[in-house]
Amino acid sequence: MRNETVLSFKWGFLQVIDDGRAIVGLKFMADAVGSVTVSSLAENLKVQLSEYFLGRRKIFDIPLKYTGTDFQLAVWRHLHLIPYGETQTYKQVAEAIGCPKACRAVGAACHCNPIAIVIPCHRVVGKNESLIGYAGSIEVKQWLLNLEKQNK
């Protein structure tokens, strides 16, 4: 079973994809188009995201299921370890997963992140805290980082 739900927030839309047991995708959308099946997982995630956007939630507690290459999985697992309100550079992430020369590959793995925000790739920045790429836009990345720093 595959459910797709479009969540609306004051700043935009997120598409939640779940398999009935876990969230398998969370993606930014330009608008709320397409078929929508509201699932209990999506409703739970909407509550948690709303709490997060209000600065009341720092850790998501919802089942996730994602697939990728071994390298991508290592990057995504590490992203969960970056504390709320803090950042790491692509180089720091590469070093942490034992591939110190794989900065660009870390960026590619972040780009392929299947569950935006919950897998916090927005906490990965370039040298000197420069903001480099984000599926939701650089403005959204900056907003998420500011939100976390203000509510740390």
Could you identify the residue written with the tokens 């948690």? 48
Q: CA–CA distance from 128 to each of 20, 133, 149 (Å)?
A: 41, 15, 17
Task: Check: CB of residue 47 under 8 Å from CB of residue 60.
Answer: no
Which residue among the candidates 99, 103, 110, 121 is catalytic per the annotation? Answer: 121
Instruction: Show Cβ contacts of residue 73 under 8 Å, excluding neighbours closer than 6 positions.
Output: 66, 67
121 annotated active-site: yes
Task: List residues with catalytic annotation.
Answer: 121
